[in-house]
Every structure is written in C-alpha cells, then in structure tokens.
Amino acid sequence: MRLLRSTDLALRLLMRLAVLGEATPTTREVAADMEVPYTHAAKVVAELQHMGLVDARRGRGGGLTLSDKGRTASVGAVVRAFEGDGDVVECEGD
C-alpha cells in the first residue's frame, strides 16, 4: 500500500511525539530531525492540530505536544483523514 507523503509524515510525527514524553519540539526541529522541508511539516502539523491530535504553542517555551485525543487516535483514523474516504487498497486485480 502506498501512502501520501503527508500521511507518512503525520504518522511518524505522532509516533515521535508519543515517545518524547514531556519534551516539546518545534515544527522546525521536527522537520530537521525527519529530514523533510519545513513547509511540509508545518502543513501536516496544522492539519493534526485542526483534527485535535496535536497541541501547538507558539513563542518562547512553545512547541508541539500530543493531545489526549492524539494519544487514543487509531492509525486507521489518521490514514483515512489524510488519504480520504476512498478505498485504501485495491481489492481486485493484480
């Protein structure tokens, strides 16, 4: 199954935030660590924030944290949100 880059980045970002605990990296730091352009990371963070999965605070002492909803979100729900509601896998054919 092929995922869009934004879906892959969203899943990796959520996993990263889940294991960081109390640390609050910035979007720029996450983009650099994952070796993706900042603009792509910012779009994904904005969508995750809109979905209520990530809390983002600006300014000094700000950063990204996983929300309570983000801690309980399923992988399938995140994939459906980023990929759309169509068939995820083609069931017929080669």
Q: How far, in Å, CA of 4 to CA of 57, rounded?
A: 26
Dihedrals φ, ψ of 35, to 5°?
A: 55, 50
Quote the longest CA-to-CA distance of the chain.
54
Q: 14: helix, coil or strand?
A: helix
Question: 9 in a domain, yes or no?
Answer: yes
The predicted model scores a pTM of 0.81
pLDDT tens digits, residue range 58-89?
888 888 999 999 899 989 889 988 888 665 55
Is 87 part of a structural domain of the chain? no
- Identify the domain containing residue 32 by its residue range: 5-82
Residues 4-32: what's their mean pLDDT? 89
Mean predicted confidence (pLDDT) in 51-61: 88
Number of domain units in the chain:
1
Residue 92 lies in a domain: no
- In this structure, what CATH number is given to the domain that contains residue 31? 1.10.10.10
List Cα–Cα distances, 16 to 11, 47, 71, 85, 90, in angstroms: 9, 16, 12, 25, 30
pLDDT band at 21 (very low <50, low <70, confident <90, very high): confident
